[in-house]
Structure 1
Amino acid sequence: MSAQKPAPPPARMPLALLPGLLLDRRLWRHQEAALADLAETWVADFDGLDSVEAMAERVLAAMPERFALCGLSMGGYVALSVARLAPGRVERLCLMDTRAAPDSPEVTARRRGLLELAQKGQFKGVTPKLLPLLVHPDRLEDAALTGDLMAQAERIGRDGFTRQQTAIMNRPDARPWLAGIRCPTLVMVGRQDALTPLENATELAAGIPDSRLVVVEDCGHLPPLERPEETSRQLRQWLLR
């Protein structure tokens, strides 16, 4: 009697991870490791692109026919555009610390001010101005975290920052197509997010039929870096749902 063959390991789900403004693959390093048994991750690089739709097209070109999709902040704007362009391809969606609505005039003015600073040759001054908006106040003295963020911004560079801000400022209003998103959707937000606060996440969750809202406590705009274990735990539950 021949020995029974062991069952093949379950296939890992393709998972696209989309970083935010001035962030790169390092944003997702904990999640890539923690979810390796469940997901075959691909982290987007938006170098050279200056529109959210072009970024979405790059994601679609890189991914297989069906995949899971998670975007933070600017990556969330791109993820919403992917869901609009190819709803049948997105198996499940995670929108993290992002919003569906366009920027307010005040936010647009702040973006333009940062662009002017960068264009005057003071790009290295941009990230320190953003740091109080990016992380929980208690983490501003965390040299490892702030140094990591500064290094990511430096890798994106002034020209990349300009293209990303241009894409963000010209992005479409995603609210009209939220109701058409039919895949299981996780909406996550840091409780103390100063850039895309809780009301933005609440609007997303209210507009998407099959959605679940998770608020990460003691956390600002960057849960993958500020609360990596909790972020990975929530993404694991989302992938297994």
Structure 2
Amino acid sequence: MASKGTTTVSTVKTDDGVNLHVKVLGDDSTKKKPLLISLHGAPGLSTHMEPEASFAFLSDIFRVLVYDARGSGISDHIGPYTHDRWIKDVEILREWAGAEKFVLAGASYGSFIALDYAVLHGDRLNGLILRGAWADGKLGPMNALANILTSPKVKVDKARQVRVWSGTLHNDEDYSAALQEILPFYTPPEDESATATKEEKPESTEFLGVVKLYSATQNFAFSVNMPRFDVRDQLHTIKAPTLVVVGRHDHVTPVEYSQEIADKIPHARLEIFEKSGHSPPSDEPQKFEAVLADWLKAEVLPALK
């Protein structure tokens, strides 16, 4: 374990021997601060750096725990890569952090795991934050693929994009090529971009920290997990205060998907970011931080006192 200021970097071993690379921002040795765990998106592609960039500003109030999920980043690449296993890893990290209850945030694919967690373990949540979500794993990927294939923003190898969204990539190089050709699809139109310059802002926080891509993780997620993922009829059971965030120009997880989720979760607030694509935290960072801080102050923090 190594400490850097108020950040602690650890390797946490799970019950099946897998090592997870974990960072806790705003670490508190007394563990008096409430815990927020944030799940990155893009299995086999994204890392802890995406949620770290999005939620570091909360480290004065929360212990913000971010990590590379098994199969991603520098955590071990040992399956299974099922939602049940990824959820069990969340539980291990919650217990490791010494929290009975916590706030769970999920971005993009991480929001699917967060939704499944909320259905299974809703009594352990002080709050739920979802960004770029859908509730139907059969319809969602097919709609994303259709939007990519008809988008004027990108020119793609159609067969390769079919492989991405069906979980049948040939190898890691195939995954890398597929990603490179669709990066512009994740961003808002140029005239809707936030005040940050293109040089100052990455294409999307979704892909921060990528060193190597792992197609095996992506393939399992989209060939096995997604066809089984459907929480539409269970959303009403989620009782935790929920913030649902989506960009107006998000064509991967369009606004109507977030609207459906917010409508069915009893205590949910939908926030549409009018100048954002798939990643409001990087497209409209100031607004994202303000909205999140306001929601936490109104819906979550009072219950923690």
TM-score (norm 1): 0.84
| 2: CA distance, partners of 1:217 / 1:154 | 31
| 2: CA distance, partners of 1:154 / 1:162 | 18
Q: 2:39 aligns with which of 18, 21, 26?
A: 18
Q: 1:106 aligns with which of 131, 138, 142?
A: 142
Structure 1, unmatched stretches of 5+, are 1-8
State the Cα deviation string for residues 118-173 of structure 1 (Å, max 9, x = none): 4384232121233133221326x935513976664443433333344345424420
Pairing 1:56–2:87 present: yes
How far does residue 217 in structure 1 lie from its aligned partner after superposition? 1.7
CA-based RMSD of the aligned residues comes to 2.8
How far does residue 180 in structure 1 lie from its aligned partner after superposition? 0.6
Percent of aligned positions with the same letter in both sequences? 27
| 2: CA distance, partners of 1:233 / 1:82 | 26
Pairing 1:131–2:187 present: no
Please state which structure has a larger fraction of its residues in helix: 1
| 1: CA distance, partners of 2:123 / 2:226 | 27
| 1: CA distance, partners of 2:33 / 2:258 | 28
Amino acid at match of 1:174: V
Q: Quick one: structure 1 residues 218 and 60, their matched pair in 2 at CA, closer, same or farther if it must change by over 3 Å?
A: same
- In structure 2, the residue corresponding to 1:87 is in which secondary structure? helix
Higher relative contact order, chain-length normalized (CA < 8 Å, sep 6+): 1
Partner of residue 5, structure 1: none
More off after superposition, 223-232 vs 34-43? 223-232
Partner of residue 207, structure 1: 264
Conserved? CA contact 2:133–2:253, under 8 Å: yes
| 1: CA distance, partners of 2:245 / 2:296 | 14
Q: Quick one: structure 1 residues 109 and 188, their matched pair in 2 at CA, closer, same or farther if it must change by over 3 Å?
A: closer
More off after superposition, 210-219 vs 147-156? 147-156
Pairing 1:239–2:296 present: yes
Amino acid at match of 1:113: R
- In structure 2, the residue corresponding to 1:60 is in which secondary structure? helix
Partner of residue 88, structure 1: 123
Pairing 1:146–2:203 present: yes
Pairing 1:190–2:247 present: yes
Pairing 1:73–2:108 present: yes
The 5-angstrom pairing of residues 145-164 of structure 1 reads 145-146=202-203, 152-164=209-221
| 1: CA distance, partners of 2:35 / 2:281 | 19
More off after superposition, 160-169 vs 146-155? 146-155
| 2: CA distance, partners of 1:28 / 1:148 | 8
- In structure 2, the residue corresponding to 1:85 is in which secondary structure? helix
Q: Quick one: structure 1 residues 91 and 131, their matched pair in 2 at CA, closer, same or farther if it must change by over 3 Å?
A: same
| 2: CA distance, partners of 1:165 / 1:206 | 26
TM-score (norm 2): 0.67
Partner of residue 64, structure 2: 41
More off after superposition, 145-154 vs 56-65? 145-154
Conserved? CA contact 1:30–1:228, under 8 Å: no
